[in-house]
Amino acid sequence: MDRVQLRATDGSRDRARRGFASKVGAAGNGARGLGVSLLVLAALALFPAAADAYVYWTNGPPPSSSVGRADLDGTGVRPHFIPVSTAGTYMRDLALDADRLYWAAACPQYPAATPPCTSGAIGRANVDGTGVAESLIGGIDPGGVAVDAEHIYLTWSDCDLGWGLSGPVCTTDELQGTPGGIARANLDGTGVDLDFISGIDAGYVAVDAQYIYWTGNFCDGVCTGGSADPWVPAIGRANLDGTGVDRSFIVTGTNVTTDLAVDAGHIYWTGQVSAPACCGAALGRASLDGTSVDPMLISGSCCLKPPFWAGVAVDGAHIYWTEYLSDPQAPTRSIRRANIDGSGTTPFILPDGDKGFHPGALALDAVTVAKAEGQARAARTQRQTGPAIVVTVKVEAREELTAKAKGKIKINPTYKLEPQTVGVARGETKKLRLKPKKAKARKIGRALKRGENATAQLKVKLTDQAGNRETERLPVRLTG
């Protein structure tokens, strides 16, 4: 992992360590502590949140590194739901699938690690907090992390942008050249491909059924190496297979772009903006096709000490983000919330005099708040001919979905079908054809020919771009 990165030291550009880039913001330094007393201020929801839907967040820096959790109505706050004991690491990012939480625990940003730091990791746990594996992918220094039905995606960078307010610490040559990339691995942590997408400046990362998105910077026009070179904060995009890389898919209009989230219709991001007379925090939004860019859908106050907004997440009703107020006399960290259209901004979870509450990245488990808009169907009886055993499922999507199907054929004995995952566009119908391995298919075919009873038990999981899920269980009778 011969990747060179830079870090900022008192505003300067200073070459530092090698490895995956850490991403820490103003909220990434400072207070330490363990016990937390929280005051919860819950805004009115557009509809009631279910009891088993949660908001998760990262806490740090060490020794308070952990994942916190609360109900989506703001109750049931557990600030250290999953303690993370990996020595010296900073919790940079958080991702969630139907069953597990994933986090990026990166090497400390300060001081720089020499030789290169390898104490960071991608960790994982079940959504109920059990099954903690702090080094699912170890020996790395990760930045952002995202997951889909098949893969883990993580970012690295040669130039650590941090979450500073003065712009990137990449040199202009690096912004024009190959400053970093996105790595990909299987969900069990195997098959790590460090150069899945290379030659990009990548901070945070998000995925939907078709694309990978990331925050970063690029050099607009001719870069000369001077301090006035036109580096541009942007959101990049590529196809899920790593092709079609567009480093400037959305020019965000912010001085710094910190985090991003995707739902069925929009991309959201947090950052800092320069208003006519001052600087302030902002939450921007654009349509999924990159149009209708609004860099200030929600804006913070303009003052001498403006708020810093970091992590962002969305569900069908609300936008959530983390805030840090850097007043040295009374620093404040909180999780805030607004309606999905940007109205009704309100504090959601606030600390009550204890500095151990230190939220950074966010993830939402809203599976029971809204269901994916689609359905899976299978003919109750499916005739098989010869050894080519195929069980067909039809998926109909009313919004963009990812469909993951798996199952087994119960005969004597039981045989697993090879799982299949496909993306389904809005209004599209696709067929998933599940098959056993060839050797098993011949045995099933002979059993059907003898007249034995066989039933396929299928499970099809539909996931939309906002993370909402719908699961269908389908019994199918097979005949010869």
Give the pLDDT confidence of 377-390 residue by residue, as tens digits. 888 888 888 788 88
Look at residue 163 in the predicted model and tell me its pLDDT.
34
Look at residue 213 in the predicted model and tell me its pLDDT.
96
**Whether the predicted pLDDT of 238 surpasses 60:** yes
> Which runs of E-coded beta strand occur in 294-331?
294-299, 308-314, 318-325
Look at residue 306 in the predicted model and tell me its pLDDT.
63
Look at residue 150 in the predicted model and tell me its pLDDT.
84
Whose tokens are 């916190």? That residue is: 68
What is the rounded end-to-end Cα distance, in angstroms, of the chain? 54
Look at residue 12 in the predicted model and tell me its pLDDT.
25
Distance of CA 291 to the CA centre of its chain: 22
Distance separating alpha carbons of residues 85 and 137, to the nearest angstrom: 15
> Average pLDDT of 439-455?
85
Look at residue 6 in the predicted model and tell me its pLDDT.
24
pLDDT confidence tier of residue 275, bands split at 50, 70 and 90:
low
pLDDT confidence tier of residue 103, bands split at 50, 70 and 90:
very high
> Average pLDDT of 234-240?
92
Look at residue 56 in the predicted model and tell me its pLDDT.
95
Look at residue 17 in the predicted model and tell me its pLDDT.
23
**Whether the predicted pLDDT of 196 surpasses 90:** yes
Of 352, 302, 329, 357, give the one whose Cα is nearest residue 64: 357
**Whether the predicted pLDDT of 95 surpasses 90:** yes
Lowest mean pLDDT among 8-17, 263-272, 448-457: 8-17
**Cβ distance 354 to 35 under 8 Å?**
yes
**Whether the predicted pLDDT of 237 surpasses 90:** yes
Distance separating alpha carbons of residues 189 and 196, to the nearest angstrom: 15
Neighbouring C-alpha atoms within 13 Å toward the C-beta of 309: 31
**Whether the predicted pLDDT of 448 surpasses 90:** no
**Whether the predicted pLDDT of 226 surpasses 90:** no
Higher pLDDT, 309 or 118: 309
Higher pLDDT, 101 or 302: 101
Lowest mean pLDDT among 115-129, 142-156, 217-231, 300-314: 217-231
Domains annotated for the chain, with CATH where assigned, are 4-365 (2.120.10.30), 374-479 (2.60.40.2550)
Look at residue 189 in the predicted model and tell me its pLDDT.
93
This prediction's pTM:
0.67
Look at residue 232 in the predicted model and tell me its pLDDT.
78
Look at residue 446 in the predicted model and tell me its pLDDT.
86
**Whether the predicted pLDDT of 244 surpasses 90:** yes
**Whether the predicted pLDDT of 121 surpasses 80:** yes
Instruction: Pull the structure tokens for residue 52.
Output: 């088993």
Look at residue 91 in the predicted model and tell me its pLDDT.
85
CB within 8 A of 420, min separation 6: which ones? 404, 405, 406, 432, 433, 434
Give the pLDDT confidence of 322-351 residue by residue, as tens digits. 988 766 666 678 899 999 999 998 889 887
| Residue 465: its H or E element | none
Higher pLDDT, 443 or 15: 443
**Whether the predicted pLDDT of 258 surpasses 90:** no
Give the pLDDT confidence of 13-71 residue by residue, as tens digits. 222 222 222 222 223 323 323 233 344 333 333 334 444 689 999 987 666 788 999 98
Give the pLDDT confidence of 279-307 residue by residue, as tens digits. 678 899 999 999 999 988 988 766 556 67
| Cα torsion through 294, 45, 71, 352, rounded to 10 | 80
Instruction: Pull the structure tokens for residue 92.
Output: 């940079």
CB within 8 A of 259, min separation 6: which ones? 204, 215, 269, 270, 310, 311, 312, 321, 361
Look at residue 20 in the predicted model and tell me its pLDDT.
28
> Average pLDDT of 128-148?
88
Q: Write 341-346 long-range contacts (CB < 8 A, 24+).
A: 342/283, 342/285, 342/297, 342/298, 344/43, 344/44, 345/298, 346/41, 346/43
Per-position DSSP letters for 28-66, written without gaps between them: GSS---S---EEE-PPPPSSPPPTT-EEEEEE-STTS-E
- Write down the mean pLDDT value for the chain: 75
Q: Phi and psi for 383 in degrees, rounded to 5?
A: -85, 135
Whose tokens are 């001081």? That residue is: 111
**Whether the predicted pLDDT of 478 surpasses 90:** no
> Average pLDDT of 93-100?
88
